[in-house]
């Protein structure tokens, strides 16, 4: 897998979503100052499911450097 650095880093609008564990919410602004890959997926989306192992590997490789991966299920 090749990591490509973006030419321009754009801020995303803030939003909040419930966490998988329930009972709490995650707010995008909690990650301010960190590099975040925000991806949207669904169980019916075969390419989305196929890319999950690569996303997990990317997070494992760079998490200690402040990289965060937010995968939002749209179902």
- How far apart are the C-alpha atoms of 8 and 70, rounded to whole Å? 20
pTM over 0.85, yes/no: no
Which residue ranges form the domains of the chain, and what is each CATH number?
16-73 (3.40.30.10)
Per-residue confidence (pLDDT) for residue 56, from 0 to 100 = 94
3-state secondary structure of 5: coil
* Cα–Cα distances in angstroms (integers) from residue 19 to residues 6, 55, 72, in the given order: 28, 18, 10
3-state secondary structure of 20: coil
Mean of the per-residue pLDDT values for the chain? Answer: 88
1-17 average pLDDT score? 80
| The pLDDT of residue 1 is above 70 | no
């Amino acid at each position: 897998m090749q990591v490509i650095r973006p030419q321009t880093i754009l801020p995303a609008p803030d939003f909040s979503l419930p966490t998988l564990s329930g009972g709490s919410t995650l707010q995008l602004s909690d990650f301010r100052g960190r590099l975040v890959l925000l991806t949207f997926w669904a169980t019916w989306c075969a390419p989305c499911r196929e890319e999950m192992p690569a996303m997990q590997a990317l997070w494992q490789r760079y998490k200690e450097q402040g990289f965060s991966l937010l995968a939002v299920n749209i179902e």
